[in-house]
Structure 1
Amino acid sequence: MGMRRLSVVVAGGGTAGHIEPALALADAVRRVRPDAQITALGTERGLENRLVPARGYPLELIPPVPMPRKPNADLLKLPMKVRESVHQTRDVLDKVGAHVVVGFGGYVSLPAYLAARGRVPIVVHEANARAGLANKVGAKLATRVLSATPDSGLSGAQPIGIPLRESITRLDRWKLRMQARQHFGLHPHAPTILVFGGSQGAQTLNTAFSGAAQALGRAGIGVLHAHGPKNSVAVQQVMGAPIYRTVPYLEQMDLAYAAADMVVCRSGAMTVAEVSAVGLPAVFVPLPHGNGEQALNAQPVVNAGGARVVSDAELTPQRVVDEIIPMALDAQRLQMMSQATMGSGHREADQVLARIVMEVAGQ
């Protein structure tokens, strides 16, 4: 294929955990091949409708193929839905002249893998510590299989970490700290905790921290709390104390990470990778649903000494007072955790994956 214009199709719609690695790969490919054509697959209801165009990449919509968790009427309709989605995806691959399809899991990836089978080389990346169904199928059809961790459950997968955007991998938290705190209206010097529960927020975190707001204020601790666009939290500020700042959503995660001394959050694969890359001490509160992958995602950072895990059921206002406040006030401990956290990250995964994708595409 020589140096003809490279056409890469990425499939990772639905959640930020699938979309952000796909966009990080797209950015890495563009840095090497500025003329490369990158096309993202998505559905009309996915978060990709906001994230992908904002990063400057075209988005092609296909019908979703959600997999029923239990036998029901939807299961009987699945073959028809798969055929329709695969047919439309093949039209997209033909239209853009795809040289390689890169899938990151989720219900957009399954039709992409089936549409590319026997036509276009496939690269699979699994971000979670436990692979989902779509990537298990894709791995059987792929030229290369990559993973974030060594034990993803995909046979022959090469662990490379998770591709992250440059605003995270190049982040200097200390250099940006004052600017970040000014951006959010936070106290310039007080110990500060970042709290967030993913793009939709997390009720457990919202309840625990809003319930401990006065104790946090009396301890001289500032808080930046993203509660989710569909949620709200009411906190009573302590006069003279660092502010407890609540926001629906964090548009600039690099600034949020720079503003904080530690983070309390869910442990989705993307979140764990970003927190590790920037060296932010963490208390992870794994989502109690699914197949337990969030607890597994957190384990390498916990083992390295950079994080602690508190179960969803055990995170209460009193737990915040008894455990998280003392942790936030212990600067020496946070420094040691920061060094351990950063050591467990993979800042170069986007570049590694980009090289592999171009190799598979013959470039």
Structure 2
Amino acid sequence: MTHPSTPDRPMSVVLAGGGTAGHISPLLAIAGAITDERPDTRITAVGTEAGMETRLVPAAGLELRTIDRVPMPRRPSTDLLKLPTRLLRAVRQARAIVADAGADVVVGVGGYVSTPVYLAAWTRRIPVVIHEANARPGIANRVGARIAARVAVAFDGTGLADAVLVGMPMRRSIADLDRAGGRVDARTSLGLDPERPTLIVTGGSSGAASLNRAVAAAVPELTAAGIQILHITGRGKQVAGDDGAPLAVHGYHQVEYVDGMERVYAAADLLVARAGAATVSEIGAVGLPAVLVPLPHGNGEQRLNAAGLVDCGGGIVVDDADFTADWIRRNVLPLVTDAPRLTAMAAASYAQGVRDADRRMAELVLTVAEARR
């Protein structure tokens, strides 16, 4: 049923995005900021049955509706032949959700689920607001930007027309983090020595294998130098020693996952990570020195994501192929124990960080929605 858009009913916002944490985290941050600004707003999230949103969105207390997943083939295939039928079905599903929600505005953060929702909103003359997280936009947001009322970006230079720079929406527990004040508690909660120089390594939920191999090979020299390591290996990617058992060296701690990345950011003197848009934006917001290792596949967006942080002196970028145990010995080992250099990197990182992107997005979304009412 379609609900008329009138000033005397609560605002209704439909948020589209899912698949990975890189899409879901900003979506949840935007939703939270909208609710902070307008507590009576009805928020409806749209995802697919296959993504992490099926767990993360309900856990955040939001309503989740799902549509069929419509992959966008990049080359001729049977999937390409099936695309029109799949897309039409997903658009119909999205139209029903948008109508039932009585949406005043549709907000998309990219990913497979967004394109059908953008098109559904367009056919119903509902304004669309887009947030693009990466320096190089994906297909969904390149399509959506053509029909959007407003386009917001986390990084300059995306090439999307009339885009406004807002930064990356993130959880307030990260945006408001006091790294120095929370260091001892964070290290203690992670089973680390509060006083030892601390290197934390994370490859994210995917793409961790090459980082894991390089770090594991460098562990003996790092720990011999008095450096403690928290190695977040990724789910199902435990690092083994020569005997096949989990690698066990004094000062080396491995876990598959950490709940609450703010603890990681507070505990680390130096972070080694991929250059996903959320990671780059979050370490800038908290002022954390970092070595960034862009994924070697994809469309090259991770290197572009890292560019601003590297250019300002807050981070170092190294190609995946060059990130070896020897590179770690020559570059990471001396850096973790170089307090003055880390302090300078942290200041440079913090100076270019954006900590209110969620609120900027909420203002943008509510302004567009109000104009329609």
**Secondary structure, aligned partner of 1:275:** helix
Contact kept? 2:142, 2:160, Cα under 8 Å: yes
The alpha-carbon deviation at position 237 of structure 1 amounts to 4.2
Maintained 8 Å contact 1:217/1:237: no
**Aligned residue for 1:59?**
64
Give the Cα separation in 2 of the matches to 1:216 and 1:168.
Answer: 28
1:113 aligns with 2:128: no
Task: Give 1:150 shift.
Answer: 2.0
Cα drift, residue 201 of structure 1: 5.2
Aligned positions of 1:33-72 closer than 5 A:
33-72=38-77
SS of equivalent to 2:283: helix
**Paired amino acid for 1:293:** E
Residue type of the partner of 1:227?
A: T
5+ residue gaps, structure 1, are: none
Matched, 1:163 2:169: yes
Q: Distance in 2 between matches of 1:230 and 1:298?
A: 27
Aligned-residue sequence identity (percent) comes to 51
Amino acid at match of 1:6: M
Q: CA deviation at 1:208?
A: 0.8
Mapping of residues 148-187 of structure 1, within 5 Å? 148-187=154-193
2:360 matched residue in structure 1? 352
Q: How many residues align?
A: 360
Counterpart of 2:3? none
Output one character per residue of 1:199-245: Cα deviation in whole Å (capped at 9) or x when no partner: 23511111011111111110111111111112111254445xxx211
Distance in 1, Cα, partners of 2:232 & 2:46: 28
Match of 2:218 in 1: 212
Alpha carbons of structure 1 residues 90 and 28: separation in structure 2 relative to 1, 3 Å: same
In the alignment, is the contact (CA less than 8 A) between 1:40 and 1:58 conserved in 2?
A: yes
By how many angstroms is 1:47 displaced?
A: 1.2
Shift of 1:137: 0.9
Amino acid at match of 1:306: G
1:302-341 superposed Cα distances (whole Å, 9 cap, x missing partner): 0000000010001111111111010101011000000000
Shift of 1:55: 1.3
Amino acid across the alignment from 1:335: T
Name the counterpart of 1:230. Answer: 236
Question: Aligned partners of 1:201 and 1:230: how far apart in 2?
Answer: 12
RMSD of Structure 2 on Structure 1 (CA): 1.2
Alpha-carbon distance, 1:345 to partner: 1.1
Q: Is 1:338–2:338 an aligned residue pair?
A: no
Distance 2:74 2:195 in 1: 48
Provide TM-score, normalisation by structure 2: 0.94
Structure 2 residues without counterparts, runs of 5 or longer: 1-5, 242-246
Are 1:304 and 2:309 counterparts? Answer: no
Deviations 1:21-46 (A, max 9, x none): 11100010111111211111111111
The 2-side partners of 1:79 and 1:326 are apart by 55
Structure 1: which amino acid aligns with 2:166? I
Q: Distance in 2 between matches of 1:96 and 1:339?
A: 45
Q: 1:5 aligns with which of 10, 19, 24?
A: 10
CA distance in 2, matches of 1:111, 1:238: 50
Map of 1:239-278 to 2, 5 A cutoff? 239=250, 243-278=251-286
**Cα offsets for 1:60-81 (capped at 9, x unmatched):** 1110111112111110000000
Relative to 1, partners in 2 of residues 1:275 and 1:107: Cα closer, same or farther, differing over 3 Å?
Answer: same
> CA offsets, 1:144-168, max 9 Å, x none?
0111122112111111111111011
TM-score by length of 1: 0.97
- 1:4 positional shift: 2.8
Q: Secondary structure at the match of 2:169?
A: coil
